[in-house]
Amino acid sequence: MMRLLIGLAFFIWAVSAHAHKPSDSYLSLSVKDNVVAGQWDIALRDLDFAIGLDTDANGAITWGELRSRRAEIEAYALSRLQISSAGSPCPVRPDALLVDNHTDGAYAVLQFQAQCAAVRESLQVRYRLFFDIDPQHKGLLRLQYEGASSTGIFSPDKADQQFSLSAPSRMQQFLDYLREGIWHIWIGYDHILFLLALLLPAVAMREAGAWKPVSAFRPAFWNVLRIVTAFTVAHSITLTLATLGVVSLPSRWVESTIAASVVIAALNNVFPLFRERRWVMAFLFGLIHGFGFASVLSDLGLPQDALVLALVGFNVGVEVGQLAIVAAFLPLIYVLRRSWLYRRLLLLGGSILIAILASIWLIERAANIRLLSF
C-alpha cells in the first residue's frame, strides 16, 4: 500500500511538473553533395531558461529581444551541435534566425549550413543542447538525402549517433516512427490523464448512487477493452485524416478541447453522466485527441516516399505505449478495488486532482496565457 501511495504521489508531482509539453527541439538536416543544410527549431521558453531572452522581465519574448540576442543564440546552440562525415568535421555556419509557432508555443528557427570536405556513406552528429540543464530534453532529428528520410532521437545517453546515407529500409522507417509513437504517448500527459480518468472506474460499478467493486477481473477487462478500442479507433481516424491533409483544425481549438475532455472524463467519475457508456466518451473525445497526435507527427515530418508506412508505424507506437499504461495500471486498481485507498484516494481524489489540473490547462490554452510557473 505504501509503495502505491509513494508511486501515486510521484506520478502526480511528475505530471504537475510537466504540465506543459516536455522540452523537445526539432533538427532537420538535408544533405546535397558536400553541403548539409540545416534547420533547428528550439523552443523560446527553453532558450529563455538557458540564456535569458526576456530582458525586460515582462513574461513575453518579443522579436526585438530575440533579434538583439541573435549572436548569443547562434553561439549557444551551434556550439552544442557537431556534424562530421568520413572522419572529418563539417564546420557549421549560421544563415538566418526566424520565429515559428508550434502547438506548444513559439520557437526560434535557426537556419545554418555545414560544409563537409566529403560526404560518404554516413553522417555523424553530436547533439548536446540543454542536456546540462535538462536531462529530460530530447532532440528529434529528420535527415533527408536523395529523396529518402530517416529519423533519430537524441538524449543524454544517445548524444552521439551515426546515420547511414543509404536509403533506409522500409522496416527501419516503420520502427523509427513506431518508437516515436511510443515516446510521444508517454510524454503526452493530457492524453495519459484522459486515459487514466476513463480507467479509474473500470473496476467498479455504479449502484444506488455509489461505486461498488466488481466481483471478478473479467468484467473489468471487457470494460477496459471497450474503452481502449473506442479511443484507438477514434484517434486513428482523425490522425490519418489530419496527416493526409483531408481535415485541418486550429491547433489552439484542438489543444483546448483536449484539456476539456480530460476535465469532463475526470468529473464523470464524481458526477456520473456517461455511467457505463464511457466507451462513447472515449470515442467522441478520441476524435479530438487524434488531431493532437497529428500535430506531433507533423512536427516530426513524414517521408513522402513512405508516407503510409510512417503513419502506420507512429499509430502502432501510440497504441503500444497506451497498452503499456493500461497493463501497468489496471491490475493495481483491481487489487485495491475494495479498499478505501481506491474509493477515496484514487477514484475520488485522483479524479478531482485530474480535473483541477486539466482545468488550468484549459484556461491556459484557450486564453493563450500561462498560470503555472512550471
pLDDT of residue 136: 82
Domain boundary pick from 113, 129, 164: 164
- Higher pLDDT: 276 or 9? It is 276
Secondary structure string (H, E, C) spanning the chain: CHHHHHHHHHHHHHHHHCCCCCCEEEEEEEEECCEEEEEEEEEHHHHHHHHCCCCCCCCCCCHHHHHHCHHHHHHHHHCCEEEEECCEECCEEEEEEEEEEECCEEEEEEEEEEECCCCECEEEEEECCCCCCCCCCEEEEEEEECCEEEEEEECHHHCEEEEECCCCCHHHHHHHHHHHHHHHHHCCHHHHHHHHHHHHHHHEEEECCEEEECCCHHHHHHHHHHHHHHHHHHHHHHHHHHHCCCCCCCHHHHHHHHHHHHHHHHHCCCCCCCCCCHHHHHHHHHHHHHHHHHHHHHHHCCCHHHHHHHHHHHHHHHHHHHHHHHHHHHHHHHHCCCCHHHHHHHHHHHHHHHHHHHHHHHHHHHHCCCCCCC
Which pLDDT band, with edges at 50, 70 and 90, does 168 fall under? low
Domain span holding position 288: 179-367
Which pLDDT band, with edges at 50, 70 and 90, does 135 fall under? confident
Please determine, for residue 107, whether its predicted confidence score (pLDDT) is greater than 60: yes
CA–CA dist 360, 355 (Å, integer): 9
Residue 3 within any structural domain of the chain: no
CA–CA dist 227, 196 (Å, integer): 11
pLDDT of residue 211: 86
Between 29-43, 142-156, 198-212, 221-235, the lowest mean confidence (pLDDT) is in: 142-156
Please determine, for residue 15, whether its predicted confidence score (pLDDT) is greater than 70: no
Domain boundary pick from 137, 164, 191: 164
Query: Are both 216 and 263 inside the same structural domain?
Result: yes
Please determine, for residue 296, whether its predicted confidence score (pLDDT) is greater than 90: no
Query: Are both 42 and 136 inside the same structural domain?
Result: yes
Please determine, for residue 133, whether its predicted confidence score (pLDDT) is greater than 60: yes
Residue 139 within any structural domain of the chain: yes
Query: Are both 213 and 354 inside the same structural domain?
Result: yes
pLDDT of residue 10: 43
Query: Are both 137 and 184 inside the same structural domain?
Result: no
In the predicted model, what is the mean pLDDT of residues 212-220? 91
Residue 339 within any structural domain of the chain: yes
Between 6-10, 232-236, 241-245, the lowest mean confidence (pLDDT) is in: 6-10
Residue 9 within any structural domain of the chain: no
pLDDT of residue 21: 56
Query: Are both 204 and 288 inside the same structural domain?
Result: yes
Query: Are both 91 and 184 inside the same structural domain?
Result: no
Core vs surface per residue 242-267: b (16+ CB within 10 A) or e:
bbeeeeeeebeebbbbbbbbbbbbbb
Residue 196 within any structural domain of the chain: yes
Residue 169 within any structural domain of the chain: no
Domain count for the chain, please give it: 2
Query: Are both 44 and 89 inside the same structural domain?
Result: yes
Which pLDDT band, with edges at 50, 70 and 90, does 12 fall under? very low
In the predicted model, what is the mean pLDDT of residues 316-344? 92
Cα angle 339, 5, 282; round to 5:
75
Query: Are both 226 and 345 inside the same structural domain?
Result: yes
Query: Are both 202 and 321 inside the same structural domain?
Result: yes
Q: pLDDT, tens digit, for every residue of 260-290? A: 999 999 999 998 877 668 899 999 999 999 9
Query: Are both 251 and 342 inside the same structural domain?
Result: yes
In the predicted model, what is the mean pLDDT of residues 235-261? 90
Query: Are both 202 and 319 inside the same structural domain?
Result: yes
Residue 313 within any structural domain of the chain: yes
Query: Are both 191 and 294 inside the same structural domain?
Result: yes
pLDDT of residue 172: 75
Q: pLDDT, tens digit, for every residue of 56-73? A: 878 788 888 999 999 999
Please determine, for residue 304, whether its predicted confidence score (pLDDT) is greater than 60: yes
pLDDT of residue 14: 43
- Higher pLDDT: 221 or 17? It is 221
Report residue 275 as a C-alpha cell: 455511467
What share of the chain has pLDDT > 90, as a percent? 51
pLDDT of residue 267: 94
Residue 271 within any structural domain of the chain: yes
